[in-house]
Amino acid sequence: MFERPRGTNDWGPEDMARRRQVERAFVELAESFGFGEVSTPTFEPLELFTAKSGPGIVEELYAFKDRGGRDIALRPEFTGSILRFYLSDLRGLPKPVKLYSTGPVFRYEEPQKGRYREFYQLNAEIIGGSPLPSDAEVLALAVGTMRAIGLKQVRARIGHIGMLRTFLPFGPLDQAKLLHALDKRNFPALEAELARLGRPELAGPMRKVVGLTGDASILEEAREILGGAGKEAVGYLHELSEMLYHYGLPASDYRFDMGVVRGLDYYTGMVFEIDSPNLGAEKQVGGGGAYDLAQVFGGEPVPQTGFALGLDRLVMAAEAEGTLAPARPLDAYVIPIGDHMRGRAVDIVSTLRAAGLRADIDLVSRGPSKNLDYANAMHARYAVLVGEREIASGSVAVRDMKTGVQRGVALQTLVAALRGP
């Protein structure tokens, strides 16, 4: 017997029906927002991810040498691949370029409930739009996806990492270290690092600012603490809030949270995270923000904003809130009464399938009563019994599997009879 690798999952038909339902909600909404789908490889040159996130990222990756000696990594997210694709092939498209992708990503993490080594993301990016309208658009798509799935208890938190960067006037590597310490709320590390950089007095205000969370009034508090460094970002977040209102996202639907410091180092402006309180420790269902990666990859600066939602966790959140529709059952299970009726039964099942019904047919030549047991176990709404006598008179017997009531139905009216209410 083989076991599946640690941190991976098998998903059965019922799981997949739920996963597809959630994925479809995102895809339909993204398409309605004018995003187009792209697909990129599941593995990439390792440098694509180290260029963006620094060499430390290798610890979190599935990285290996292929037979040609090339350093390869399974993608840990979509943004790097999409930027690579944009820079090599899509740069000539009219701006903004709005792209979405769905698929598996891989991270070498310590597995636990809701945290896997292979998981599935729903990703959207806007490249080359103006920051404010683009940030509002991606936020509306992310929160709209939650609504489309029926989630009510999720909470969006919006912050601004540019504000923190302006207040930390150091080179990118030092800034990354400080932001990493802030992300982990590791204040001793923050203080030690600022002391090393000769600016220990910045630790106090930083601690205060990342603790600010609430309605728009906290923006004023942040501005007071940070002085000039906070001015632009605070103005920006006020404007963003106004724009979100027009998307049907009133301020009561999210909080400002100056403590949103995203783990990866490339964000430059607005950042956000969405949590479901029902998921315990791994409660974050999605996150994103504004960044400028084209520069890191050697292109000219171009504003970008995007997000990734974790499908696995969205499904868990939807299950906890009971918002998913049950899988659609079989409409009909077709039973030939005797093998000599199989050809007629196939004609009938084919007609039902062509009419858009979910129809299945006996494949093991069971007797009628065993077949009815099977139809019952499959939760089929109707069984269609194809017997010689009935067929001779142009009809079949249709059994309602819930009530057990059986009646003759003319073949011409079968589709309508099964479609039912």
| Beta-carbon contacts of residue 63 (< 8 Å; ≥ 6 apart) | 46, 71, 72, 73, 74
Judged by CB, which is closer to ligand AMP: 314, or 380? 314
| Residue 115 binds to ligand AMP (criterion: CB under 6 A) | yes
Alpha-carbon distance of 104 to 311, in angstroms, equals: 10
At residue 311, what is the residue type? L
Smallest CA-to-CA distance from 402 within 420, 369, 373, 379 is with: 379
Cβ–Cβ under 8 Å, residues 213 and 259: yes
Judged by CB, which is closer to ligand AMP: 129, or 310? 310
Judged by CB, which is closer to ligand AMP: 234, or 261? 261
Cβ–Cβ under 8 Å, residues 35 and 137: no
Q: How many residues appear in the chain?
A: 421
| Residue 47 binds to ligand AMP (criterion: CB under 6 A) | no
| Residue 174 binds to ligand AMP (criterion: CB under 6 A) | no
Question: What angle in degrees, to the nearest 10, is found between the helix axes of 228-246 and 131-149?
Answer: 50
What residues between 279 and 298 interact with ligand AMP by CB under 6 A? 284-287
| Residue 313 binds to ligand AMP (criterion: CB under 6 A) | yes
- Interface with ligand AMP by CB under 6 A: which range of 12-20, 106-114, 174-182, 364-372? 106-114
Q: How far is the CB of 307 from ligand AMP (least distance, A)?
A: 8
| Residue 305 binds to ligand AMP (criterion: CB under 6 A) | no
| Residue 272 binds to ligand AMP (criterion: CB under 6 A) | no
Binding mask 120-149 for ligand AMP (x = CB under 6 A): -x----------------------------
- The closest residue (CB) to ligand AMP is 310
Judged by CB, which is closer to ligand AMP: 57, or 385? 57
What residues between 60 and 79 interact with ligand AMP by CB under 6 A? 77
Residue 367 Cα distances to 336, 379, 398, angstroms: 9, 18, 16
Judged by CB, which is closer to ligand AMP: 35, or 333? 35
| Residue 306 binds to ligand AMP (criterion: CB under 6 A) | no
Q: How far is the CB of 157 from ligand AMP (least distance, A)?
A: 12
Alpha-carbon distance of 182 to 164, in angstroms, equals: 10
| Residue 107 binds to ligand AMP (criterion: CB under 6 A) | yes
Q: How far is the CB of 191 from ligand AMP (least distance, A)?
A: 26
- Interface with ligand AMP by CB under 6 A: which range of 61-69, 160-168, 169-177, 307-315? 307-315
| Residue 310 binds to ligand AMP (criterion: CB under 6 A) | yes
Q: How far is the CB of 389 from ligand AMP (least distance, A)?
A: 57
Alpha-carbon distance of 195 to 225, in angstroms, equals: 20
| Beta-carbon contacts of residue 148 (< 8 Å; ≥ 6 apart) | 25, 26, 28, 29
Size, binding site for ligand AMP by CB under 6 A? 16
Among 35, 85, 86, 116, binds ligand AMP (CB under 6 A): 116
Judged by CB, which is closer to ligand AMP: 21, or 284? 284
Among 257, 265, 312, 390, binds ligand AMP (CB under 6 A): 312
The residue ranges that bind ligand AMP (CB under 6 A) are 77, 107, 109, 114-116, 119, 121, 284-287, 308, 310, 312-313
